[in-house]
Structures are given as C-alpha cells and as structure tokens.
C-alpha cells in the first residue's frame, strides 16, 4: 500500500464526514475542492493520470550489477510508490528470458541489449525501447596482455558467445585497429569470457567492459580492453528498458511513472554511489560491495553522457546506430528509429 493511496483514502473519509455535517448549500464547494485535490494528487510526478499503485514488473538483462544500481536505489527509497506504481524487479533465468517474459505478457518491462531489440522487431515483435540505461556501448574485445593492438589478433583465437552482435563487435574492433577480421579464428565460449581469458584458452574475447572487463583485470592484471566505439562503432545506448507497444498505447502513465521512478533513482545513484551500493547489497544477497562499488565508478558516467538527464534518448546517436546496425550485418535493414524507441522522456531541444 503506497503513501499516496493512504493520503487519498484519508481524504475520502474526511470528505464523507464533512458531507454528513454540512448543509446542502455548502456541498458543491466542498466537492469542488475535493475534486481539485484528487486531480493534483493524480498529476504528481510524471504528469497525467497516476497509475494509483499499479503492480509493475521489470525483468533484468543479466545478474544484478552496477548498471542496475539506480533501479534498486529507487525501490529502496520508495520512488516507485511516489510515482504511483509498485515496482518488482527480477533477474532473468537465462539470457533470453527477459525478452520471452516481455513478449509473453508476464512482465511489463524488460532490459534488453539494443541489438536484441532490433532483431526482435525485425522478426515482427512490437517491442519498443522506452528508457536507456546507458548512453554508450558496453561491448568490447578483451585481450591478453601481449595483445597490444587489435591488429595483433591476426592469426589469433577470439572467443565469442555465438550472438550475431558479437561477430559485428569483433569485426569492427579488429578492422578499426588495422587488422583483418578474416584472419581471426572464432571460438564459441558462451558467456565465459573471463574464465576463457584467465585460463589462456583464447587470445581475446568479446565481453562487456563494465562487468567482465573489471573481473578479468582483477584476476589477470594487464588485460587489454578495446571498446567498440573507439574503433569505428557509433555511440549508442547498449542497454534499454523495453515495453510492448500496447503498453505504451494503453497505459502511457505507467511508462511515464517508470521513467520518473528511475530518473530519480539514477540521479541519486550518480550523486550518492555509496547509498546505491548499500541498497543493492541489502536487496540482493551475495553481492560483493567492493566489486559493486568499482563497477559503479566505472559505469556511472555512461548513465548521462551526451544527454540532458537520465532516461533521455540521443536521436542523433540512434540514427547513426541504425545505419551501422545494418552495415555490419546485425540486421538486414536499418531499424526504424521513430518506431523502435519512445521519445516521451527526451527533453525537446
């Protein structure tokens, strides 16, 4: 039960007692005041009709890590209730679960890799990115200490997960570093980049620099990190919260409430990272606070770089990403940016 609900419930009880004790000549002014108060309560936060305590579910893309810090801090501080929703957060059971839960109607929102969103839309699914979590690619090629540039991977072995976007990331980094992607042997390692690198099974591996990159460096100092946007890829929001088109059409207030909740959560996570780490470790048993703090320090700048505030899309970046997405073969044609993303949270220039 939210505090907003309690206030509204109390207001209704008071209104009934006043009605019984006042004459009919004063009833209409009192009702007018009550209606005005209700309107003001409904308009708090993101604007429009408030969802009034609606249960709202969000499935994560990966095991909880610092990218999700603002989400957990928002829930910890009750920002969801203040926006009129009750937000529940769940990690996925497998890498594809988030999209399946969303498409199956078992989740209202899901965090997706932007490439997965593009591929889902290419297959006909009406999923739309509504809130970017980061403004830059998290994809990188991690390499052994003796690999000084991507060109040194010519003739070497590189681990990939098997996802189409991995091939594009590897090709872009190697080509951008002066090497020949065709001379790099691909080895499918799943999502075990750190173990494969530390165990010496591969010379390099595609991975996210904000989690696996830090973990690999901690276990093997000197690990190299080649971020894809440093080697020819445009800046794009790697992770976006997605919704079904019907949710945007039928319940826009819920989308706005989620944005308002997370905007507050991430703004405070940026300014008070220690509290964000504490909120996460309280809610997610087993998290290492020290590692989480290091991750948050590394990824925090990416929450708002290039935009006016958290949760806004950079249209120019998305247009460049759309062209690149098709050029490197992740999608057959450039994704339709206006249809693929909701710009209700982006301030007008």
pLDDT at 19 over 80: no
The whole-number pLDDT of residue 146 equals 97
Work out the average pLDDT over 134-146: 98
Work out the average pLDDT over 184-199: 95
Q: How confident is the model at residue 40 (pLDDT cuts 50, 70, 90)?
A: very low
Q: How confident is the model at residue 346 (pLDDT cuts 50, 70, 90)?
A: confident
CA distance 198 to 223: 9
The whole-number pLDDT of residue 4 equals 33
Q: What is the pLDDT of residues 282-294, one digit of tens each?
A: 999 999 999 999 9
Q: What is the pLDDT of residues 69-90, one digit of tens each?
A: 999 999 999 999 999 999 999 9
pLDDT averaged over every residue in the chain? 87
Answer yes or no: are the C-beta atoms of 58 and 240 closer than 8 Å: no
- Report the DSSP pairing between strands 85-90 and 139-143: unpaired
> Which residues make Cβ contacts (< 8 Å) with residue 62, sequence separation at least 6?
91, 92, 95, 211
Closest C-alpha among 110, 148, 142, 106 to residue 129? 110
Half-sphere exposure of 92 (CA within 13 A, CB side): 18
Answer yes or no: are the C-beta atoms of 39 and 30 closer than 8 Å: no
Least confident of 39-43, 202-206, 247-251, 290-294: 39-43
Work out the average pLDDT over 94-114: 89
CA distance 40 to 43: 5
3-class DSSP state of 126: coil
pLDDT at 30 over 70: no
pLDDT at 337 over 60: yes
* pTM of the model as a whole: 0.84
The whole-number pLDDT of residue 288 equals 96
Answer yes or no: are the C-beta atoms of 54 and 84 closer than 8 Å: yes
Q: What is the pLDDT of residues 298-332, one digit of tens each?
A: 999 999 999 999 999 999 999 999 999 999 999 99
CA distance 64 to 91: 7
**What b/e sequence results for 207-216 when a residue is b if at least 16 CB atoms lie within 10 Å of its CB, and e otherwise?**
bbbbbbbbbb
The whole-number pLDDT of residue 348 equals 67
Half-sphere exposure of 143 (CA within 13 A, CB side): 23
pLDDT at 31 over 90: no
The whole-number pLDDT of residue 52 equals 86
Region of residue 52 (left: phi > 0; alpha: psi -120 to 50; beta: else)? left
State the sign of the Cα–Cα–Cα–Cα dihedral 92, 93, 98, 103: negative
The two tokens of residue 74 are 């928002």
Answer yes or no: are the C-beta atoms of 110 and 103 closer than 8 Å: no
The whole-number pLDDT of residue 46 equals 40
The two tokens of residue 326 are 């098709």
């Amino acid at each position: 039960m939210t505090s907003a609900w309690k206030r509204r419930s109390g207001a209704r009880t008071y209104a009934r007692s006043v009605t019984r004790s006042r004459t009919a000549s004063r009833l209409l002014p009192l009702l007018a005041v009550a209606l005005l108060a209700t309107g003001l309560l409904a308009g708090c936060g993101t604007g429009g009709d408030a969802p009034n305590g609606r249960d709202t579910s969000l499935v994560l893309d990966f095991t909880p890590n610092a990218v999700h810090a603002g989400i957990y801090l928002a829930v910890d501080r009750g920002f969801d209730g203040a926006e009129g929703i009750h937000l529940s957060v769940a990690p996925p059971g497998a890498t594809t679960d988030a999209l399946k839960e969303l498409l199956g109607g078992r989740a209202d929102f899901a965090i997706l890799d932007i490439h997965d969103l593009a591929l889902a839309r290419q297959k006909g699914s009406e999923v739309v990115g509504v809130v970017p979590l980061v403004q830059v690619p998290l994809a990188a090629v991690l390499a052994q200490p003796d690999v000084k540039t991507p060109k040194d991977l010519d003739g070497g072995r590189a681990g990939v997960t098997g996802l189409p976007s991995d091939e594009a990331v590897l090709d872009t980094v190697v080509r951008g570093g002066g090497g020949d992607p065709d001379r790099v042997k691909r080895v499918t390692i799943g999502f075990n980049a750190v173990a494969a690198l530390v165990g010496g099974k591969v010379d390099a591996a595609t991975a996210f620099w904000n989690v696996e990159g830090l973990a690999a460096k901690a276990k093997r100092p000197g690990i190299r990190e080649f971020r894809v946007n440093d080697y020819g890829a445009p800046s794009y929001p790697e992770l976006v919260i997605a919704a079904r088109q019907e949710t945007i059409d039928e319940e826009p207030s819920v989308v706005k409430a989620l944005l308002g909740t997370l905007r507050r959560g991430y703004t405070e996570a940026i300014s008070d990272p220690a509290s964000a780490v504490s909120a996460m470790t309280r809610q997610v048993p087993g998290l290492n606070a020290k590692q989480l703090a290091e991750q948050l320090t590394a990824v925090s700048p990416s929450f708002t770089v290039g935009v006016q505030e958290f949760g806004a899309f950079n249209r120019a970046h998305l247009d460049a990403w759309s062209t690149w997405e098709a050029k490197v073969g992740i999608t057959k044609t450039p994704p339709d940016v206006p249809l693929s993303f909701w710009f209700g949270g982006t301030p007008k220039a």
